[in-house]
Amino acid sequence: MTARHAFGAEFTGAAGFLNSPTYGLPPTFLMRALHDCLAAWQAGTLDARSFDQPVRDARAGYATVVGVPAESVAMAGSASAALGLVAAAIPDGSRGATLAGEFTSTTFPFAAQAGRGVSLTELPADELVATAGDYDFVTVSLVQSATGAVLDAEALRASVAGTDTVTIVDVTQAAGWKLLDLGWADVTVASVYKWLLAPRGTAFLSVSGRIARSMTPHAANWYAGEQPWESIYGLPVRLAGDARRFDTSPAWFGALGAGLTLPWLAALDRSAVEAHTVGLADTLRSALDLPPDPSAIVSLPPGRHGDAADRLQRAGIRASVRAGAVRVGFHLYNTADDVSRLLAALA
């Protein structure tokens, strides 16, 4: 395969790859580090402490990418596991709102609290934004997994301002391509293996002071200690004073990758990344007479492109099918050639 260079990094296999909403492609610098790490594991020379710095780097990178304080960021194994801690802290009888058709990792942890009288109502985007302040909590993805639809974050912020509504925003389909500033949200969460380009098995969660104070670290472990390597044995509990008390023990290879890709993404001109990714998606939308949308994800209407999945597969274009429609996504390693190739396959 011919490697592509984008924003100072090299990517192999990017040509025709439009499946970043499912998983992102690793840059070559990550693959080299991962190969070295696997070789050390095989040789028995791997040092478990060597993953501490990547965890610190990934935590700081996530904070920068999302626009939250680093001390508010915790590490988890998946977005749903992280949100499970938040859901368990929602008071009995709370009323919540979400979007119709929302990704279930964002909703199931809260819907599973029904035995405590917690309810969750599905609403259209406009109604959710307008009425968010009437609910005890709102849990939504900033960018919808199935369609790429982008929620109006500033309108949501204005709607909950001055209220007690706990606002939970999943940025898994946004962080990495979209410029974010979510310091106002009570909770953000993202898995790292999609647009953040790291191996699967790690996620990050940010929590505001008011929600963190109500949360119990149900998965408390040695790595959540104030001094992790001094918290391995024996009582009493001695957890970190900041959000690290909610940390899980790191999944080594996911943490290694996140410690490389998140700081790199955080250091890029993120406005330029968004302009590049959304620009490619807009070119496709315009060519297909689809309405404009400030998203790097495009869902192809199944009625107009009923055999699109087969056509793209035959053309060597890697995409996915979600909610009955072909879904494509444009990341920083994609180019106008990918748009042309897709359009040729559909013609």
Note the residue count of the chain.
Answer: 347
Tell me the three-class secondary structure of 202-243, residue by residue. CEEEEECHHHHHHCCCCCCCHHHECCHHHCCCCCCCCECCCH
Per DSSP, what are the bridge partners of residue 204?
75, 190
Mark whether 206 and 97 lie in a shared domain.
yes
What is the model's pLDDT at position 14?
A: 96
Rounded to the nearest 5°, which phi and psi values hold at 101?
Answer: 75, 15
Mark whether 134 and 204 lie in a shared domain.
yes
121 in a domain, yes or no? yes
Tokens 């070119």 belong to: 283
- pLDDT category of residue 305 using cuts at 50, 70 and 90: low
Give the strands of the sheet with 325-329, arranged side by side.
297-300, 325-329, 320-322
CATH number of the domain within which 338 lies? 3.90.1150.10
80 in a domain, yes or no? yes
Cα separation, 117 vs 277, in Å, equals 42
- pLDDT category of residue 323 using cuts at 50, 70 and 90: confident
What is the model's pLDDT at position 309?
A: 86
Residue 26, exposed/middle/buried by CB under 10 A (0-12, 13-18, 19+)?
buried
pTM of the predicted protein model = 0.96
- pLDDT category of residue 308 using cuts at 50, 70 and 90: confident
324 in a domain, yes or no? yes
Mark whether 224 and 309 lie in a shared domain.
no
Residue 2 has pLDDT above 90, yes or no: no
Mark whether 244 and 314 lie in a shared domain.
no
Looking at 243, 267, 291, the residue that finishes a domain is 267
- The boundaries of the domain holding residue 187 are 48-267
Mark whether 300 and 338 lie in a shared domain.
yes
- pLDDT category of residue 59 using cuts at 50, 70 and 90: very high
37 in a domain, yes or no? no
pLDDT average, residue stretch 264-283: 98
Summarised one tens digit per residue, pLDDT across range 183-216 is: 999 999 999 999 999 999 999 999 999 999 999 9
Cα separation, 290 vs 284, in Å, equals 8
319 in a domain, yes or no? yes
What is the model's pLDDT at position 306?
A: 64
Strands 119-123 and 166-170: unpaired
Mark whether 308 and 242 lie in a shared domain.
no
Give the strands of the sheet with 166-170, arranged side by side.
73-76, 203-207, 187-191, 166-170, 137-141, 95-99, 119-123
What mean pLDDT is reported for the chain? 96
Mark whether 200 and 254 lie in a shared domain.
yes
Mark whether 19 and 142 lie in a shared domain.
no
Mark whether 78 and 137 lie in a shared domain.
yes
Residue 303 has pLDDT above 80, yes or no: no
106 in a domain, yes or no? yes
* Count of other CB atoms within 10 angstroms of residue 2: 7
What one-character DSSP code corresponds to residue 296? Answer: S
2 in a domain, yes or no? no
What is the model's pLDDT at position 302?
A: 79
Summarised one tens digit per residue, pLDDT across range 136-177 is: 999 999 999 999 999 999 999 999 999 999 999 999 999 999
pLDDT average, residue stretch 68-96: 98
Summarised one tens digit per residue, pLDDT across range 238-273 is: 999 999 999 999 999 999 999 999 999 999 999 999
Mark whether 102 and 56 lie in a shared domain.
yes
Mark whether 203 and 217 lie in a shared domain.
yes
Mark whether 157 and 59 lie in a shared domain.
yes
Structure token pair of residue 129: 């934004």
